Chains A and B, each alone.
Chain A
Amino acid sequence: MDVLITDDSGFMRDLLREILEEDHNIVGEAENGVEAVELYREEQPDIVFMDIVMPIKDGIEATGEITDMDPGAKVVMCTSVEQAEQMKDSIKAGAEGYITKPFQKESVLEELNSIAAE
């Protein structure tokens, strides 16, 4: 699958890349919501891993713009935020999955496979 990673932390992007690149194709890495929307438009990935707390544009807003642009877009929030209201906002924005940091490799792959199977 073609995957777009979005996280303002280089440390976290590296960690996700390590987990995913064995079986998947990383088409890009975005450091904020604006870059994520641009990269999505250019690369049309199968799935986006999206952080929430980021500078310039946060992940919920970026998810909304991506799903407005492509209603079939598959976005998994990958964040340390565990607030019910922000989870609901993520759903409203069109996210299909939610992984909380710190995460285990298995939970990332499980979430990816479950969304891919839909």
Chain B
Amino acid sequence: MEIDIRELETYQELAHDGARSAAESLSQLTGISTRVQVTDVSLMSSSDLEYEFIGDEFAGVNIDLTGEIEGEVVLAFDEQGRSAITDKLVPADDPEKKKSSIKEVGNIMTSGFVDGWANYLSAKIKSSPPTYIQGTGTDILPTSTTDEDRHLFVFRSRVEASQEAESEPIDFRILLVPDSKSLERSLEPKTDKIVSLEKLEVFNDMTKEGAEKAAANITSMTGIETTVNISRLSLIPIEDIPTEVGSKRFVGTVMQFRGKFSGYLVILFDQPSGRAVVDSLVPMETEEQWGDIEQGALKELGNIMTSGFIDGWANVLNAEIKHSPPEFVADTGSGILTPVTTKIAETDDHAFVLDSSIQTNSDKVFTCQMLALPRRDELEQALDDLLVENSANTRIDPDDLF
């Protein structure tokens, strides 16, 4: 199956408009002010999708779509969002009515999300009555995604909402998982910006393997057991990338890569994780929190992780991808990403973001996010040149050559 990248960008924009419409519906119904943070379209495995809803308790609706677009929509509020809405709409202590209010709010919001698609396609998209869903992880996932582990195109929107009196923001997510036939119909090539879906899937798998190698390198250097829990390829407007990473403070490294395709690789540790890594690498007391020694250790780790991440691409593409020495960064996520996205925005309006998240096996203290931002046109050309039959050749043993 071949897909038209420009059409995919149009659908991302439709999803963004749809999320805004859904958010406005929520504001009208409840008086809660809303802001769409980010909407992207991601290619990810169904097991990775599960992590969207891990940890917190969510409540919302699942709606089946039929017509021009077939598939499922899940709209889910976090616990804070659920109680803010139900407290507003059903002040009485009536659990059934509270559930019913979430169903109706979800139904109205989903209509707002889907109708723009139907209008764009000049076609009908019918929604089933909403099914109430509540829980975490697979309890919330669209049912079609839990049958088997496969690649899915998922339209993800994250909306932040806040009541004036509330200090903590609430958020809700909308996932649209179209079935493969209607997706193929919708993304039928109309321009010459065509990418093979099979190659995108291969590239996504290679990226996950690269992240696993990077995680193994962390373990080897620090002794901290790690695992990759999410790896996805997303198409996202460049201006939304800093927001996607958020206002949490991080330390890490930024590297530029160039060769078969060029771009940036950003490695972010939240502050406690960065400290844990440095303490493992440099087991001695130092006076500064992020002095030369600490920065040097993190830069070297970044260097080694980067190679682990990108070398597989180079080997499969039979090409070189060289990266620059790492630059140390310590700032909010958006503060770190803004200079990078400003550079990419000089030539592109959307970017493919390869996003992998690494955590410890033992506890949740350690998190590391790796974001690769290749130049879109160069990646499209590289994917065009990619030979699927080479996809197993990610690793090379130096002893075979020396």
Contacts and interface: CB of A to CB of B under 8 A. Distances in A.
Contact of A88 (B306, B325, B401): B401
A117 interface: no
B320 A101 contact: no
A117 to B, nearest CB: 15
Given A9-B303, A11-B281, A82-B395, A96 B402 contact: yes
B335 interface: no
Given A11-B296, A55-B325, A82 B307 contact: yes
Nearest to A56: B325
A66 B311 CA distance: 26
A83 B221 contact: no
A102 B297 contact: no
Nearest to B397: A82
A27 interface: no
Contacts of B319: 85
A9 B402 contact: no
Nearest to B308: A80
Given A87-B402, A96-B402, A102 B220 contact: yes
Interface majority SS on B: helix, strand, loop or mixed? helix
Given A11-B281, A98-B402, A100-B398, A81 B311 contact: yes
Contact of A91 (B299, B308, B324, B401): B401
A12 B298 CA distance: 11
Interface in A63-106: 79-89, 91, 95-102
Contacts of B221: 102
Contacts of B307: 53, 79-82, 101
B314 interface: yes
B282 A102 contact: no
A11 B296 CA distance: 6
Scoring A11, A88, A102 by chain B CB atoms within 10 A of each residue's CB, the highest score goes to: A11
B303 A82 contact: no
A102 B217 contact: yes
Given A91-B401, A97-B402, A53 B320 contact: no
Contacts, number: 84
A2 to B, nearest CB: 22
Given A9-B300, A91-B401, A86 B395 contact: no
Contacts of B217: 80, 101-102
A101 B308 CA distance: 10
B323 interface: yes
Nearest to A10: B296
Interface string B31-55: 0000000000000000000000000
Nearest to B300: A9
Contact of B322 (A10, A86, A98): A86
A54 B306 CA distance: 14
Contacts of B30: none
Contacts of B396: 82-84, 87
B304 A80 contact: yes
B338 interface: no
B315 interface: yes
Interface in B346-402: 395-396, 398, 401-402
B314 A85 contact: yes
Nearest to B312: A82
Contact of A53 (B292, B293, B324, B398): B324
Nearest to B297: A11
Contacts of A8: 325
Interface string A29-54: 00000000000000000000000011
Contacts of A84: 314-315, 318, 396, 401
B108 interface: no
Contact of B325 (A53, A81, A91): A53
A58 B306 CA distance: 16
A83 B281 contact: no
Contacts of B282: 11
B303 A80 contact: yes
18 contacts: A8-B325, A9-B299, A9-B300, A9-B303, A10-B296, A11-B296, A53-B322, A53-B324, A55-B324, A58-B322, A79-B307, A80-B307, A82-B396, A83-B311, A83-B321, A85-B318, A85-B319, A87-B398
Interface of A: 8-12, 53-55, 58, 79-89, 91, 95-102
Given A9-B300, A83-B321, A84-B318, 4 more contacts: A53-B307, A81-B311, A85-B320, A89-B320
Interface of B: 217, 220-221, 281-282, 292-293, 296-297, 299-300, 303-304, 306-308, 311, 314-315, 318-325, 395-396, 398, 401-402
